[in-house]
Amino acid sequence: MALLSFAVLWTAACSAPADGAPEGDPTAAPPLPGPEDSNGENDDGGADDGQEGPANGDGPLGDRVVVIDPGHNGGNAEAASEINSLVEVGNGEKACDTVGSETVDGHSEHEFNWDLSLLVKERLEADGVKVVLTREDNESVGPCIDERAEIGNTEEADAALSIHADGGPESGRGFHVITPGEVPGLTEDIVEPSALLAEDIRREYLEGGDIPYADYLADEGLDERTDLGGLNLSTVPKVFLEAGNMRNPEDAELLTDPDWQADAADAIARGLASYLMRD
């Protein structure tokens, strides 16, 4: 807690008068907020409708905005024509959205994404961050990927994170973080900060998520792509977390375990907080 307060004072000094708070060394590695910094309100499995919470509240990160994008949506499977309609993604066209993956036992990715997103939201809000979700529930359709990106842009988010879980080969396990590659005229400004965001999330998630780097794609848990509308159309630093492989039995056991989800959310929130404290 003492370390966090130190970082807080320094962060505040950069953005607002801080009552003569001492300035820290800006080159020092940012201390990481731990689960104990979330006021003990974070252990109920995320029974939250996703819509409340303080706007830029009190707390160490009170002047920051994060957009969390829970991938897919529960109504997508019933809305094929809407979901399959094409949207412009800057260098081509893609489907508005997709249905997502599921475990062999039928636990859907959209539900996993939603649950984990709420847990991360809760943790960030405990530190005062304004968190905006790209969808309101887990029963609706969409929104389309271009709208998901637009929400981060409109909010002028300091960071945006899309939460997904992969539908990879059954034998492959692990997580990866997808970063925007350079798309001329679109992503030049976000490539570098997004890579830093990916680094922070990857480090914390590897340590706290108890799940290895993906062994069936990506490179040490990182994959740069230029074909994702959610990244191409973002004007704010943004990455996708593919939190694990739903089709792999070992990963699926973790991904669907509420205790694991709580730990994973702690790790993701620490990664985001670490990124927010970089400047």
Supply the residues annotated as catalytic. 242
**Would you say 78 and 151 are in contact if contact means Cβ atoms under 8 Å apart?**
no
**Would you say 258 and 107 are in contact if contact means Cβ atoms under 8 Å apart?**
no
Binds Zn ion (CB under 5 A): choice among 33, 50, 100, 244: 100
**Would you say 122 and 128 are in contact if contact means Cβ atoms under 8 Å apart?**
no
CB of 164 to Zn ion, least distance (A): 3
Contact between 152 and Zn ion by CB under 5 A: the answer reads no
Q: d(Cα 279, Cα 273) in Å, to the nearest integer?
A: 11
- Judged by beta carbon, residue 164 or residue 238, the one nearer Zn ion is 164
Pick the stretch among 95-103, 152-160, 220-228, 267-275 that binds Zn ion (CB under 5 A). 95-103
Pick the stretch among 46-54, 70-78, 171-179, 252-260 that binds Zn ion (CB under 5 A). 70-78
List the structure tokens of 4: 């966090």
Contact between 135 and Zn ion by CB under 5 A: the answer reads no
Binds Zn ion (CB under 5 A): choice among 35, 71, 128, 208: 71
Q: What are phi and psi of 67, to 5 degrees?
A: -105, 125
Residue that is written with structure tokens 């976000």 in the block: 190
- Judged by beta carbon, residue 164 or residue 176, the one nearer Zn ion is 164
Contacts of 17 (CB under 8 A, 6+ apart): none
**Would you say 158 and 197 are in contact if contact means Cβ atoms under 8 Å apart?**
no
- Judged by beta carbon, residue 71 or residue 237, the one nearer Zn ion is 71
Burial class (CB in 10 A: 0-12, 13-18, 19+), 216: middle
Work out the end-to-end distance of the chain between its first and last CA atoms, rounded to an integer number of angstroms. 20
Alpha-helix runs per DSSP H in 25-168 = 80-84, 109-126, 145-154
CB of 90 to Zn ion, least distance (A): 20
Contact between 164 and Zn ion by CB under 5 A: the answer reads yes
Contacts of 260 (CB under 8 A, 6+ apart): 209, 210, 254
Size of the site for Zn ion (CB under 5 A): 3
Pick the stretch among 93-101, 130-138, 141-149, 254-262 that binds Zn ion (CB under 5 A). 93-101
CB of 197 to Zn ion, least distance (A): 19
CB of 165 to Zn ion, least distance (A): 7
Pick the stretch among 41-49, 76-84, 98-106, 190-198 that binds Zn ion (CB under 5 A). 98-106
- Judged by beta carbon, residue 8 or residue 214, the one nearer Zn ion is 214
CB of 6 to Zn ion, least distance (A): 38
- Judged by beta carbon, residue 102 or residue 200, the one nearer Zn ion is 102
Q: d(Cα 136, Cα 142) in Å, to the nearest integer?
A: 10
Q: What are phi and psi of 186, to 5 degrees?
A: -125, -65
- Judged by beta carbon, residue 130 or residue 176, the one nearer Zn ion is 176
Peptide bond into 212 cis (omega under 30): no
CB of 121 to Zn ion, least distance (A): 18
Q: Which residues bind Zn ion (CB under 5 A)?
A: 71, 100, 164
